[in-house]
Amino acid sequence: MNFIEQMFSLQRELNNKTNGDIWLDNMTQEGREICWHRCIYMEASEAIDSFNWKHWKDINTEPDWENIKVELVDIWHFIMSELIRLNDEDYAYKYLDTKTSGDLNSLALVEVFEKIISISVTNTKCGDIYAIREVSDLFFVALSHVGIDTEDLYRRYVVKNQLNSFRQNHGYKNGSYIKLWGKVEDNVVAFNIMDKCPNISPSDLYQKLELEYSHLE
């Protein structure tokens, strides 16, 4: 199983665990509507806010590249969910061996994110297969600019996937979950684990999160 296949498998598992099969009908188990395109454009907006686009502030400030990468991984969760819903996950396999430029071109990246937002806003009510394919294409263009290949995407995705699963299992929905672990947020702890053990399996990463969280309780 290649990296992209593994990510789709993990995303399907997470969605099933969170809401059951009804998520494929764009509904939560509580009967609330799910709109993956809305999720996508909100995360893309947050990514844009990591650039120094505000003309009334210091325009020489360096973009928050790490947060931009985090937002891209979040967008990927929702792209995969929509592709699974439309039974079109194979579309992403063509990007398995693509190369990255890593040019950190801010202007080009903001334009990519704005295109993603435009497409997703238009498709919040009637998203079709062509819309999510176009968003997928733009997503991998953005990955290229920040230097993330599919292996790096997989590692980053596993961190967020297991952390999202962990949150759901520890009271995230009812508000009992503790997001601040000591002086840092949980995502920092999760990424630190991956940095120390880059080949860690999803299940082992989850167990390490359990161990860290147990010290807070």
- First-to-last C-alpha distance (Å) of the chain: 37
Q: What angle do CA 128, 143, 129 make, to 5 degrees?
A: 10
Strands of 46-194, DSSP E: 180-181, 184-185
Taking the model in full, what pTM does it have? Answer: 0.90
54-74 as b/e: b if 16+ CB within 10 A: eeeeeeeeebeeeebbbbbbb
> According to the model, what pLDDT value does residue 55 have?
84
> According to the model, what pLDDT value does residue 79 have?
97
Rounded distance between C-alpha atoms, residue 14 and residue 16, angstroms: 5
> According to the model, what pLDDT value does residue 217 have?
64
Burial of 77 (0-12, 13-18, 19+ CB in 10 A): buried
Measuring CA to CA, which residue among 11, 9, 61, 50 is closest to residue 142?
50
Sign of CA dihedral 205, 142, 4, 34: positive
Domain boundaries, the chain: 3-214
**CATH number for the domain formed by residue range(s) 3-214:** 1.10.4010.10
Residuewise pLDDT in 10s, the chain (217 residues):
799 999 999 999 999 988 899 999 999 988 899 999 999 999 999 999 999 888 888 777 899 999 999 999 999 999 999 999 999 999 999 998 888 899 999 999 999 999 999 999 999 876 789 999 999 999 999 999 999 999 999 999 999 999 999 998 999 988 999 999 988 999 889 999 999 998 899 999 999 999 999 988 6
